[in-house]
Every structure is written in C-alpha cells, then in structure tokens.
Structure 1
Amino acid sequence: MRSVVCIGGLACLCAASGWWAFERDGRTAWFLFYSFAYLSLYAIAAYSALKRGLERLETGLAVYSAEVRRCYAGESIHFSAIWSEAARLLPGARIHWEEQWVHQGTGERTVVRGELAPGARAVRTPGFRRGVYVREALSVSASEVLGLLHAERRSEGGGQLWVLPRPAAAAGLSGTPEGVRKAASPAVETAVPQVSGTRPYAPGDPLKRIHWRSTARTGELRAIETELPAGGRQLVLLDAAGLGGSEGAALWADPMLAAAVEAAASIARRELERGKRVRLAVSDGQGSNAEAQGRARLPELLQPLAAVPQGGCAPGAFAALVRRETRRSAGAATLVTARADAQLPSALRGLPRGAAQVVFVHEPGRALPESVCVWKRQLEALGCRVTMLAAGAAPAPRQGGAGHAAIGR
C-alpha cells in the first residue's frame, strides 16, 4: 500500500508540474516536471523489479518453509542460502524478514526479525533455548535503496527447528570428563566379545566354549569363535523426570533436568569421539531413542534430547527403561538422573558388576539428603559406580526476540 501511495503521489506531482510547465513555460516548472517524471519512472521500474524478484523467490521460500534444521542451544543460526539467492534476484535492495516460532514444549512464541543489506552474504539470528520449534509464519519484504518502495511476500508456517543441548555446558562432563572417567572401571571400558562363528577345538579351550550343535553335525569338536566389536558399544540412558515433582511446561523449567540433559549429551559426545557406537534412550512419554557411531553423527544422536521431556515421564518409566535396555544391550551402560529413584537398584540387580554406572545430578552447594546417601550405597553394593555431579551454572543462551538479528558478511 505504501508503494502504491508513493507512486501515485509522484504521478500527481509530475502531472501538476507538467501543467505548470506547459502553462507558464518557466525554467523552474520544467525542472520540476522532468524531476518528477524521472522519479515516477524510477518508482514504477523499481517496484516492478521488487515484485518480480519476490515472485521468483517464491519457490525458494516454499522449500525454506518446509525444511527441518538442527542447531545447538545459544548458537547463532545462519540463513545464507536463501538470502544470498534473494540478494542476487534483487540487486541493491534491502531485504527484511520476520519469522514467528513456537516452542512445542512450553508454547512460548519467539519473533525473530532480520535485515539483509546490499553486499551482505548471510543473516545470523540470536540463539534459541533447547527444544523443538515450529514456524507459525514467515514474511519477506524488500525495499529499494531510497527506502520509498516496499514489496512483501507472506508464507504459511511450516518446518521445524531442533535446538540441541550443548554437550560442553555441563560442568565436569565437557571435553574429557573427569567425574565419569574416575567412575569408569576397566569392566565398563572393555568391549564385550561377540560370537562370530565356530572353529576346530584346540587343547586348552574351556568346555563351555564347545559348540555342541556344530560338533554333532560335523562329527568333530567345534569351539565358539569370538571377536571384539570395533570401538565397542555404549548405552546412555536419561531420566526425563527431573527432580520428579513437575509436569508439562513446569518440567521444562526444571534446572536439574536441563543439567541432566547436558550431562547425557557430554557423555554421548565423549563416547562417539572414542570410536564407540552409542545408543541414547530417554524415559519420556514418546520412548525417544537414537543410535549412531562416528563424531560426525553427534547432532543426529542428540536430536531426542532436544525434545525432552516430550510426553512427560511416568514415575516408574526410568527403571523400566533401564531394565529393558540393559537386558537387551551387550555394552556398557551409563545412567543419568537427577532423582534417587527407589526402583533403580532392583532394575540393576542381576547385571555383571561394573557393567553400569550412574551419574547423579544434584544442586550445587547443598548437602545431600540421607535418603540419597542410602540410595547411593545400595547401588554401590550392586557393583554400580556412582558419580555425584553438581549442576554447573551454565550461561543462559541468548534468545530470539523482537530485536533485529545481526548481519554477517
């Protein structure tokens, strides 16, 4: 509307100065007539270019609106591809954009605005808090150099943004975590041998290694052949209940749950860097889990942690998850929790000594209750090493808000 009013106003001024010039035939009149005529032609051509450029950008906006992105909490997000294309279609124009995101866990709405100036190559947004965001609306507008004309395109919502926890945010578990390394026993670090086939029995092999079915079939003694899996396998289990007294949006605000999520992310990253295959499972209402090997797949592995605690968490869900996953997995297990679950010792009973360890996240600067100390002794009596981890006061990530994003070059 602003552009139409501007073009109409220039056309009226051009007509008025033309009438004056033809009637009075003065130098000033003719100067004004030519000036307004030039500005009118410039406004029509510039507005047509802006509209045409945004129409050509429509396909790119549709793809951009539907894509799923991943980033880390507090990390600046780059939108270089779509905005570089816009700068090519609209040379010399300033491109403005606005997005509205909704946090799926808390329902909080975040509006992010940005501007791509001529010559800029990328746009960066402020960092988001951990969670899964859905885009509700997207609008892109363009204005020419003088800022008189304005064209806009709006797109429907769509696409998701998975904001992953930062693995280095948990004090004591970032990089090469001291607390977990002290708690790890040789049995935990040793990969469990896997059956790879059979071979002829050799003198000195124990009788329990004889494969009786192959022996009966071939008529000679055959022994089980085993080998160590490459890199081993690590199981990381996260209790999604936090301190155990919150539900819904209040559970997202539980600082102990946030610290436990970051601790699980740090452990998962460390094990990937050691070359192990890592399975990450969460006791939330969705049964979230992921499995990966290789440090390049860390974002894929941490994706379930972005949505914690989606679907909430039942009181006995963590013990049930531990019982199910540890019985199914042949590797070492690390359990991360912020509450002394009374059902956990019974879930770990029957496992080999040293096969599991527990990382207990607690509030810093406060003495542990006697019930927690008793719970810790019960786990240690089962051969489970327990690491007490004080939740560090990590700096809060920057939030996207009503302010403009920074412009990168």
Structure 2
Amino acid sequence: MRQPAAGRRPPNPTRRRLWLMAVLYVSSLMYMLFQGGRTPVMLFCIFNGLILYLILGYWSGIRRISGTRKAAAGGPGATSGLPGVAGSDNRLLAAGETLQVQLQLRLPGIYPVPYVLVMERLERNGGTAIPFEVSFVPNVKRAGIAEYETPPLRRGVYRFLPTVCITKDIFGFIEHTGSFHEEGSFSVRPRTITLYGWDRIRRGAKGHFSHASAPRSSRETTQINGIREFMPGDRLSRIHWGATAKTGQWKSKEFEREALPRTIVLLDAYRSADAGAAERFETAVSAAASLFEHGMRRGTSMGLWCSSAIPTALKARSGGDQLHRAMELLTEVDNNGSDKLAQAILRADPILDQGSMALLVTDAPLEEIRQTMNWLSRRNLNPVCIRVLAANHPLTASSQHEFIAAGAIYTIRSLEELPAALEGREVAADAGS
C-alpha cells in the first residue's frame, strides 16, 4: 500500500549523493580491475583522493564552532546595546524598532572551509520564532563575522535560540552541521508618547473626591524611599545607622509618602475574535504605558491592573521601581482574558481605593464602558476611559469627546491621537466647569 503524501519523509539529498559516489567508486574500481592501464589507475586514484577529502570534512571543525553575539538597537546612528545580550549596555528597545546583531565566529582546526551558513532564530514570548540566515567566509585565522538586522519588532520578551552553522565541501556533496548556544534575551517595551498638557492625573479628576494635597501633609508609609540629612527632632528609630557610620554624619531615613489622589490604570485584555483586535490591543497597551509614565513623572502614586488570563495587579505607589515593574508587566501582557470588561472589572476591587482616579483603557463597546464606569463611580472612584477604535473607523468631534454622568470618555484610533484627544478634552471640561 502506498504511503500517504502527508506521512512520507522528504527525500534526503545527502543520502542520494552518497549512493552516487558509491556507484562511481565501484565503477572506477571495476574499470581499473578489468580494463587496466594508466587511465583507469589515474581515475581510481583521483576518486580515492576525492573520497579522502570528503571524509576529512567530518573533522572540519564545524561541529565545535564557537561564537559571541553583540546586539544594538537599529536605526541611523544607533550604537546602544541591549541588556541581557552579550556586549551591550542598558538601552531598551521600544516596539517598532529594529535590532542589529553581529556574530563573531571561530572555527577550530586547519581543514579548509569555503563558507559557513549561519542560521539564527529569535523566539518571542516562548512561542513564534523569527528565522535569520546569513553566511560568511572564514579568514586565514578561521574566524569571521556575520551580521544581520531584524525587522521592526513587536512588544514582548525575546530570546535567542541555539545558533546552527552549516558548511559543505567545495563540490557541495556532503553537508556538515554544528551549533552553539550564546544565551541572550531582551525586552521590547510598548511604545509611549509624551503627554504635555494633560494635568488631570496630577491634580485628580473633578468630582466629589477631588482634592489637592501638599507633600508635607500626606501620610508617610513604611516604605523607605532614600536617605536624607538628619534634622533636629528626628526620632532615634528614624536614624539610618549604616549611612551614618559610612559618612561620619548623622543621616535619617526618608520614607515614601502617600501621593493623593492615587491613580489606577485598568487595561482590558479580553480576547476578541473581531478583525483588528490584536492591533487595537497593542494601541491600548501603548496608551496605558504612556498614561502610567506620565503619572509617575508628575509624582503621582500609580497602580496597574490588567484582565488577562493571569490577572496582573500593582498596588498604587510611587518610586522609580514602580515604573520599571509596570513596564515589565505591560511588556509581557497578552489579550487572552476570558471575561468581558463588565465582569472582569470585579476582580480589580482589592486594589481600588476610594477617592482614586481610575483610567480605563479598552476597546469594548460603549454600553459595556458605561456599565463599568457607573460601577467604578458607585465605588467612589473617579473613572476616565480611553476607548480604542480601529484605525479605519470614522471619528467625529462629537464621538471623540463624550460626557457621561460617571466620567469622561476619550476616543482614539492610534497612539499618536492620544495627546490631542486628552488636551482637547481637558479644555472642554475646564470650560464647562
């Protein structure tokens, strides 16, 4: 019975070449034995020399190839490396940027190698892998450099898989393969955009719980935020003995203060089957990252919650490490949530403090947004929504800025529209107040 095409193994070209060589060798041997003379002997000697050359290719050194990798952000004049990749500094990639990779390879041994084909794979979020192929010709020291540039990368965590190197003899009969693993990983963070004119995060949304707070009147937490000079009246428990011993001067602990009002960024990660859902989610992630970064820059205590399959939550607080943790979470998050917005928001209740501002970023229908914002308002929060629409969705002035009893709704189609939408909406809100 003939085997189905789907289950048949693909033909092996190396095996066919070996069979061809075996047939030619036996033919030349029989030709020499039965014909005799100089020509058959010379032909047989040539075949033996070729076979010896092909056999020695097994010890060409390709199986023990080694190398190092250097990576830098792509683009004109970009020379900064990436953390987690050998030979790099502390620069991070943003979504849409490219990566320039340089491999420095070395072959042991003395066997001549005409060229080396290098095959690399870059894996994203433990799933899909991007393949790259590049070749180089070893120099007299049996070393070489292979370079390539990635396409614009999406947001996520990337790691390099083992590098496979392939070479052939000068006739192309036999293929020899080797590999090495130079570990390296890096993150491509979501795109952000600067929000210059929107101060509503800093001073809080207008409403029943709107208030301004001076830093000195806010309560201190138990989280140490740094070290300051000793001030008369500081308690003994406040003295930082380690810093005092190192500097020879009295030092006191500086505790983090509660920034009022607090702000929570709520990101909707419901898995939708609609066309363009992935693009809308990427825009939503970038908008959430921009809002979080803007709030941290203004000294606001920021929190984060996401309705993904594994719920992501950060309690609202200030400090430089809070922004770093939030960006890491937004880098890895995916739109794999199973509950729609109105049901998923119920799981965010533990981190929603009364009087806080809730920044809702979603592409949900308008009715779900109203229902969710009404629930947040009943929880004594000040909700504001960033609604993300498809890039080709028609947008009018009335649909871009909408007032409802619970709060304001901003509508955008791309990250670039966010600053204009927020600034224009704030002017309208302040004029009507």
User: TM-score per shorter chain, which class?
Assistant: 0.5 to 0.7
Q: Cα deviations across residues 310-362 of structure 1 (Å, max 9, x unaligned)?
A: 2323342454355432318x986543233442232331456577xx6543334
Q: Cα deviations across residues 168-210 of structure 1 (Å, max 9, x unaligned)?
A: 4xxxxx1x2246x25444358978633269xxxxxxxxxxxxx
Q: C-alpha root-mean-square deviation of aligned residues, in Å?
A: 5.4
- Structure 1 residue 282 and structure 2 residue 301: aligned? no
- Structure 1 residue 262 and structure 2 residue 286: aligned? yes
Contact 2:286 2:415 in 1 (8 A): no
Alignment counterpart, residue 359 of structure 1, candidates 361, 380, 386: 386
Contact 1:10 1:39 in 2 (8 A): no
Quote the offset at 1:265 in angstroms: 2.5
Q: Cα gap change, 1:51/1:164 in structure 2, threshold over 3 Å: closer, same or farther?
A: closer
Q: Which residue of 1 aligns with 2:340?
A: 314
Contact 2:54 2:169 in 1 (8 A): no
Instruction: Spell out the pairing of 1:25-174 with structure 2 (5 A cutoff).
Output: 25-26=37-38, 32-49=43-60, 52-53=63-64, 73-76=95-98, 84=104, 87-88=106-107, 93-97=115-119, 112-118=131-137, 119-127=144-152, 129-130=154-155, 140=164, 142-144=166-168, 146=170, 147-152=172-177, 164=188, 166-168=190-192, 174=193
Contact 2:116 2:166 in 1 (8 A): yes
Q: Cα gap change, 1:226/1:88 in structure 2, threshold over 3 Å: closer, same or farther?
A: closer
Q: Cα deviations across residues 234-264 of structure 1 (Å, max 9, x unaligned)?
A: 64321224xxxxx455487354333212211
- Residue identity matched to 2:269: A
| Identity rate, percent | 18
Q: Which residue of 1 aligns with 2:407?
A: 379
Q: Which residue of 2 aligns with 1:186?
A: 203
Quote the offset at 1:282 in angstroms: 0.4
Aligned counterparts of 2:299 and 2:22: Cα–Cα separation in 1 = 70
- Structure 1 residue 335 and structure 2 residue 364: aligned? no
Aligned counterparts of 1:101 and 1:269: Cα–Cα separation in 2 = 28
Aligned counterparts of 1:73 and 1:51: Cα–Cα separation in 2 = 36
Aligned counterparts of 2:278 and 2:16: Cα–Cα separation in 1 = 53
Aligned counterparts of 2:150 and 2:44: Cα–Cα separation in 1 = 45
Aligned counterparts of 1:30 and 1:251: Cα–Cα separation in 2 = 72
Q: Which residue of 2 aligns with 1:391?
A: 414
Aligned counterparts of 1:183 and 1:7: Cα–Cα separation in 2 = 75
Aligned counterparts of 2:214 and 2:168: Cα–Cα separation in 1 = 64
Q: Secondary structure at the match of 2:353?
A: helix
Aligned counterparts of 2:301 and 2:42: Cα–Cα separation in 1 = 77
- Residue identity matched to 1:112: P
Contact 1:191 1:229 in 2 (8 A): no
Alignment counterpart, residue 345 of structure 1, candidates 370, 374, 377: 374
Contact 1:273 1:295 in 2 (8 A): no
Q: Cα gap change, 1:14/1:366 in structure 2, threshold over 3 Å: closer, same or farther?
A: same
Q: Cα deviations across residues 95-146 of structure 1 (Å, max 9, x unaligned)?
A: 3537697989xx9x666352343333345444555568999x9894512363
Q: Cα gap change, 1:270/1:37 in structure 2, threshold over 3 Å: closer, same or farther?
A: farther
Q: Which residue of 2 aligns with 1:216?
A: none
TM-score calculated relative to the size of structure 1: 0.56
Contact 2:220 2:257 in 1 (8 A): no
Q: Which structure carries more relative contact order (alpha carbon 8 Å, separation 6+)?
A: 1
Quote the offset at 1:286 in angstroms: 1.9
Aligned counterparts of 1:231 and 1:374: Cα–Cα separation in 2 = 27
Aligned counterparts of 1:249 and 1:161: Cα–Cα separation in 2 = 31
Query: For this pair of structures, how many residues does the alignment match?
Result: 324
Structure in which a larger fraction of residues adopt helix: 1
TM-score calculated relative to the size of structure 2: 0.53
Contact 1:92 1:145 in 2 (8 A): yes
Aligned counterparts of 2:20 and 2:282: Cα–Cα separation in 1 = 57
Which runs of 5 or more residues in structure 2 are unaligned? 1-11, 68-83, 86-91, 138-143, 206-211, 223-252, 418-433
Q: Cα gap change, 1:5/1:373 in structure 2, threshold over 3 Å: closer, same or farther?
A: closer
Q: Cα gap change, 1:324/1:369 in structure 2, threshold over 3 Å: closer, same or farther?
A: farther
Q: Which residue of 1 aligns with 2:267?
A: 238
Contact 1:235 1:278 in 2 (8 A): yes
Q: Secondary structure at the match of 1:40?
A: helix
Contact 1:129 1:163 in 2 (8 A): no
Q: Secondary structure at the match of 1:373?
A: strand
